[in-house]
């Protein structure tokens, strides 16, 4: 089977979109204080700003299975284009946000669009390549998703150096729309997959209504001072009720235009957005089952994402979140048994490599998050206390090796079973973490510190492609989208649980080490600065990071052992190409 140049170009664009959306997961790291100030939240109220982060995660993870299933039913390219448009819309809302709810809404839409890119892209690989040739492209797609973890803070730092935080999301808007146009145009030129729709006369009225809705809606967000001060135009912003920004003449106009836009898209012969077709796809994809699964995942995400790791493993409201998840899970199980066309077709993940890939992906995420978060933290604690950028560049050494390992792991799938390749990779990751757990105060100043970073990055890269290849080889092409989505969901949940658990364990070590330090008066005799006391606190911080690295090594070893057992038998090398050529569209 020969993959055309257009198909490869389409896959490259999709991978770029995945990397760009993944970077947005971490882009708020530097912008969060400024975003909090714009929403009227002080730095001391950091927990109030948690929804800005958890809102993105909810959108990214909770609706992934539904989007993956729609990609199976409707096609990969339509989902890619729609996801990029939703991501761009979320970027616009976030850039214009004036309070916490509007920021959270924008971040949720960004997560929803960004998350939808992943299963569609992985399933696109399965459409274009037979199982024996999927390894390298799957590895590349998985690698760029993780590289986004460091690109986000770096891009954020560069933009913030010349503009305010809103410019970050304005850039997202431009890039997201440009990628959507490029993907759609490339598909129409025959990139080897079905185009979103047949070419025809553009829906100019639908486009005009959509642009008018965005323009008037933006005025509600922006409230231009020049117009507000005008005796005539200012009346349009006077709310009908107190504190009702949207309950004003201009807000009502925006709502009316939105309704007219939806009616046009619903009843036009060739609408700009075929909402009826998307509605049918959502029903066929089992919308009820997707909402129940989203409720299950939302409870898990909120349980860990809203916890304060300095004092707790789970949120204060964990009982309610977990209880809600349990009820939703019970309802989901009953629904999947009775539904005629369930979200996850019966026996879709019955094969051991299929469900085993989810288990391994969870543990990979639990270990990987320790590298993404704690390597920069260790650098800040030791050699770069005043430079977030230099600390992030330490992580780059780890991430440089990750795509190399991903390509190598994909190539090795032609020669070795998926379980063996993934296991070797996670053993290397464990070795890297074990080495990092021996780092001291000046370790990063030595050239040898680069070795465990490269070994760990290489190991994670080796494991990414085999996990995706195993689940794709063990499932029917008609469920590749939802199966790929579940692999990503498992890894993201693993990251949330991993960072919460490992941070809590590490902090207990820190508190124990700190409590063992003699009082300041005994160390320095009281008064003035005390380098010895500061040094002792640094040593306690180092002990915390060492504990986290050891915990991550244990997670990596568990992943290595389970990969050997659970991924055994995944036919990633010798399945005929005929099955891989079939799509769910």
Q: Rounded to 10 degrees, what is the CA torsion of 571, 572, 573, 579?
A: 80
117 neighbors 141 (Cβ within 8 angstroms): no
Q: Kindly report whether the global pTM for this prediction surpasses the value 0.85.
A: no
Q: Is the pLDDT of residue 582 over 50?
A: no
Quick count: other Cβ atoms within 10 Å of Cβ 43? 10
Per-domain boundaries in the chain:
1-197, 353-585
pLDDT at 124 over 50: yes
DSSP string, 421-446: HHHHHHHHHHHHHHHHTT--TTGGGS
pLDDT at 526 over 70: no
pLDDT for the residue numbered 44:
61
Residue 39 DSSP class: T
Structure token digits, residue 420: 């063996």
Angle between helices 50-57 and 28-38 (to 10 degrees): 130
Spatial contact of 453 and 401, defined as CB atoms under 8 Å apart: yes
CB neighbour list of residue 153: distance below 8 Å, 6 or more residues apart: 26, 27, 29, 30, 388, 392
Mean pLDDT of the chain: 83
Residue the block writes with tokens 């994670």: 460
Burial of 447 (0-12, 13-18, 19+ CB in 10 A): exposed
Q: What is the CA radius of gyration of the chain?
A: 25
**DSSP secondary structure letters along 77-114:** HHHHHHHHHHHHHHHHHHHH--SHHHHHHHHHHHHHHH
Size (the chain), residues:
585
Confidence of residue 580 (pLDDT cuts 50, 70, 90): very low
Mean of the pLDDT values across residues 268-296? 87
C-alpha closest to that of 479 among 125, 145, 114, 65? 65
The C-alpha atoms of residue 177 and residue 242 are separated, in whole angstroms, by 36
User: Would you place residue 455 in the very low, low, confident or very high pLDDT band (cuts 50, 70, 90)?
Assistant: very high
Most confident of 44-58, 211-225, 298-312: 211-225
The number of helix segments (H) and strand segments (E) in the chain equals 22, 0
Task: Summarize pLDDT for 47-87 with one digit per residue, the tens.
Answer: 677 778 778 878 888 778 888 888 888 888 888 999 999 99
Q: Are 505 and 546 in contact (CB under 8 A)?
A: no
| Identical fold between 1-197 and 353-585 | yes
More confident residue, 528 or 489: 489
More confident residue, 310 or 545: 545
Residue 474 corresponds to which tokens in the numbers above? Answer: 């063990």
DSSP tag of 518:
P
Smallest CA-to-CA distance from 295 within 321, 318, 316, 315 is with 321
CATH assignment of 353-585, given 1.20.1530.20, 1.20.1250.20, 3.40.50.10150, 3.40.50.1100? 1.20.1250.20
pLDDT band at residue 579, thresholds of 50, 70 and 90?
A: very low
For residue 577, what pLDDT is reported?
Answer: 32
Check residue 351 and report its DSSP letter: S
Of the chain, the percentage scoring pLDDT greater than 70 comes to 90
Contact between residue 139 and residue 16 where contact means Cβ atoms under 8 Å apart = no
Res 311 pLDDT > 80 = no
Helix, strand or coil, per DSSP, at residue 63: coil
SS3 268: coil
DSSP string, 373-410: HHHHHHHHHTT-TT-HHHHHHHHHHHHHHHHHHHHHHH
Which fold, 1-197? Growth Hormone; Chain: A; (1.20.1250)
Angle subtended by helix axes 166-188 and 100-128, to nearest 10 = 30
Mean pLDDT, range 366-390, rounded to an integer: 83
Which is nearest to 402 in space by CA: 484, 447, 487, 463?
463
CB-CB contact of 539 with 427 (8 Å): no
- Closest by CA to 152, choosing from 132, 172, 133, is 172
Nearest one of 126, 117, 116 to 66, comparing CA atoms: 116
């Amino acid at each position: 089977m020969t993959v055309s140049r257009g198909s490869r170009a389409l896959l490259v664009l999709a991978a770029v979109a995945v990397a760009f959306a993944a970077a947005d997961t971490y882009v708020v790291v530097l912008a969060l204080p400024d975003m909090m100030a714009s929403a009227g939240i002080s730095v001391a109220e950091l927990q109030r700003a948690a929804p800005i982060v958890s809102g993105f995660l909810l959108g990214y993870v909770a609706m992934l299975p539904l989007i993956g299933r729609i990609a199976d039913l409707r096609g990969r390219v339509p989902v890619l284009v729609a996801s990029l448009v939703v991501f761009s819309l979320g970027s616009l809302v976030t850039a214009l946000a004036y309070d916490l709810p509007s920021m959270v809404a924008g971040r949720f839409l960004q997560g929803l669009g960004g998350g939808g890119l992943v299963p569609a892209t992985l399933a696109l690989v399965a459409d274009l390549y037979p199982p024996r040739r999927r390894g390298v492209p799957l590895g590349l797609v998985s690698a760029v998703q993780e590289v986004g973890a460091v690109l986000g803070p770096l891009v954020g730092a560069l933009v913030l150096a010349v503009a305010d935080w809103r410019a970050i999301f304005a850039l997202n808007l431009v890039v997201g729309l440009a990628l959507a146009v490029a993907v759609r145009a490339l598909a129409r030129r025959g990139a080897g997959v079905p185009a979103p729709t047949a070419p025809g006369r553009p829906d100019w009225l639908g486009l005009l209504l959509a642009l008018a809705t965005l323009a008037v809606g933006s005025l509600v967000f922006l409230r231009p001072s020049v117009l507000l001060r005008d005796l005539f135009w200012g009346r349009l912003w006077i709310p009908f009720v107190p504190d009702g920004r949207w309950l004003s003449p201009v807000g009502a106009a925006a709502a009316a235009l939105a309704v007219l836009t939806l009616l046009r898209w619903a009843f036009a012969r060739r609408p700009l957005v075929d909402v009826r077709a998307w509605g049918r796809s959502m029903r066929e994809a089992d919308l009820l089952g997707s909402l129940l699964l989203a409720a299950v995942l939302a409870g898990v995400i909120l349980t860990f994402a809203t916890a304060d790791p300095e004092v707790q493993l789970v949120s204060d409201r964990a009982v309610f979140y977990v209880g809600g998840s349990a009820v939703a899970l019970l309802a989901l199980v009953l629904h999947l048994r009775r539904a005629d066309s369930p979200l996850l077709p019966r026996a879709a993940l019955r094969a051991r490599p299929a469900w085993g890939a989810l288990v391994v992906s969870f543990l990979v995420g639990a270990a990987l998050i320790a590298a993404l978060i704690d390597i920069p933290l260790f650098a800040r604690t030791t050699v770069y206390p005043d430079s977030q950028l230099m600390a992030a560049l330490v992580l780059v050494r780890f991430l440089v090796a990750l795509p190399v390992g991903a390509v190598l792991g994909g190539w090795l799938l032609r020669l070795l079973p998926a379980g063996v390749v993934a296991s070797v990779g996670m053993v290397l990751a464990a070795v890297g973490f074990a080495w990092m757990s021996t780092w001291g105060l000046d370790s990063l100043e030595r050239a040898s510190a680069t070795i465990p970073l490269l070994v760990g990055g290489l190991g994670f890269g080796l494991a990414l492609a085999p996990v995706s290849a195993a689940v794709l080889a063990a499932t029917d092409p008609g469920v590749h989208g939802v199966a790929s989505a579940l692999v990503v969901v498992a890894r993201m949940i693993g990251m949330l649980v991993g960072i919460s658990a490992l941070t809590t364990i590490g902090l207990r070590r820190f508190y124990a080490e700190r409590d063992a330090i003699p009082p300041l008066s005994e160390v320095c005799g009281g008064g003035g600065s005390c380098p010895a006391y500061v040094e002792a606190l640094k040593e306690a911080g180092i002990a915390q990071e060492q504990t986290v690295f050891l915990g991550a090594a244990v997670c990596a070893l568990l992943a290595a052992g389970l990969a050997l057992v659970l991924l055994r038998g995944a036919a990633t090398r010798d399945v005929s190409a005929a099955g891989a050529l079939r799509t769910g569209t």
